[in-house]
């Protein structure tokens, strides 16, 4: 573009001097003041034309430079946006790795507290309809998984193995209506059965009306039934209702394990004792 502008300016100068030469030749046909006046007017006219031409060339040159600069800025902004998106993705991956590391550390710390052998499993599927509450694990009979083995996480009881294939296992969650776990109130030692409600909580059945149970009490496994070891955390009492005409009080328990957000669990490798 600069080369073209220089050529244009050289051409303008050539035309300017050519016209001056022509008028000088014409000037020879005039004499006296008329000749001088014509010469001066001609020089003034063509000087103005030359100035305007040079000014236009400079303006065009500046306009082109501004356009080139604008194109460069757009390309730079596009590259910056691409780098920002890349950094966002890398940051998300970093956050996910940190959170996974935290969960695994908690699982490993919990694993050391359990006397019986355990092995970890990843959740690869979920079934959470109105009545059925279950998850699918990436471990099966080839890994040593068997029906009725307890499934837990670092915060509490999750459920038990219901079905097994060679490489997967289905877990019946403690919130499923078909689930029942023998429990006791850790503070008062009152016993009962934590049954699934089909929602996000359990209901303690057979809790006598005179049982010492309070909201906020921690509920743990009693060990009765032979499936779950004694002392595993089940949840916390969240609601109590008593009726003069009923033999039992109504008790709701919110599981400590975040059932809806599970990603990794432990399977306790034990043979159920019935």
- 274 domain-assigned: no
**Which candidate, 181, 189, 188, 186, places its Cα nearest to that of 152?**
181
Confidence at 38, pLDDT banded by 50, 70, 90 = low
161 and 181 in contact (C-beta within 8 Å)? no
Q: For residue 202, give the CATH number of its domain.
A: 2.40.10.340
Q: 155 and 76, same structural domain?
A: no
Could you report the per-residue pLDDT of 153-165, keeping only the tens digit for each? 888 899 999 999 9
CB 232 within 8 A of CB 244: no
**Residue 273 domain flag:** no
Per-residue pLDDT of 179-188, as tens digits, reads: 999 999 999 9
Using CA atoms of 77, 78, 84, 88 in order, give the dihedral in degrees to the nearest 10. 150
- pLDDT at residue 147 above 50? yes
Contact by Cβ (8 Å): 76, 228: no
- How many domains, the chain? 2
Please check whether residues 154 and 245 belong to one and the same domain.
Answer: yes
Residue 148 lies in a domain: yes
Question: pTM of this prediction?
Answer: 0.61
Query: Domain end: 79, 113, 147, which one?
Result: 113
| Domain encompassing residue 52 | 1-113
Q: Which of 85, 113, 141 is the last residue of a domain?
A: 113
Q: Are residues 99 and 142 in the same domain?
A: no
């Amino acid at each position: 573009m600069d080369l073209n502008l220089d050529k244009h300016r050289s051409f303008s100068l050539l035309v300017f001097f050519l016209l001056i030469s022509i008028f000088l030749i014409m000037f020879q046909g005039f004499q006296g003041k008329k000749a001088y006046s014509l010469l001066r007017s001609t020089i003034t006219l063509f000087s103005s034309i030359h100035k305007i031409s040079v000014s236009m060339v400079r303006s065009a040159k500046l306009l082109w430079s501004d356009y080139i600069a604008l194109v460069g800025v757009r390309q730079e902004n596009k590259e910056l946006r691409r780098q920002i998106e890349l950094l966002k993705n890398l940051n998300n991956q970093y956050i996910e790795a940190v959170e996974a590391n935290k969960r695994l550390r908690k699982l490993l710390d919990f694993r050391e507290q359990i006397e019986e052998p355990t092995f970890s499993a990843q959740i690869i599927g979920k079934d959470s309809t109105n009545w059925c509450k279950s998850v699918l694990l990436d471990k099966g009979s080839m890994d040593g998984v068997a029906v009725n083995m307890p499934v837990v996480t670092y915060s509490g009881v999750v459920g038990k193995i219901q079905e097994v294939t060679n490489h997967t296992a289905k877990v019946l969650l403690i919130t499923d209506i078909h689930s029942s776990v023998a429990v006791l109130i850790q503070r008062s030692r009152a016993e009962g059965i934590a049954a699934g409600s089909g929602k996000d909580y359990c209901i303690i059945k057979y809790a006598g009306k005179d049982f010492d149970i309070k909201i906020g009490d921690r509920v743990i496994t009693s060990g009765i039934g032979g499936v779950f070891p004694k002392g595993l955390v089940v949840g916390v009492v969240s609601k109590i209702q008593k009726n003069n005409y009923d033999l039992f009080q109504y008790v709701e328990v919110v599981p400590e394990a975040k059932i809806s957000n599970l990603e990794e669990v432990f399977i306790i490798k034990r043979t159920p004792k019935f």
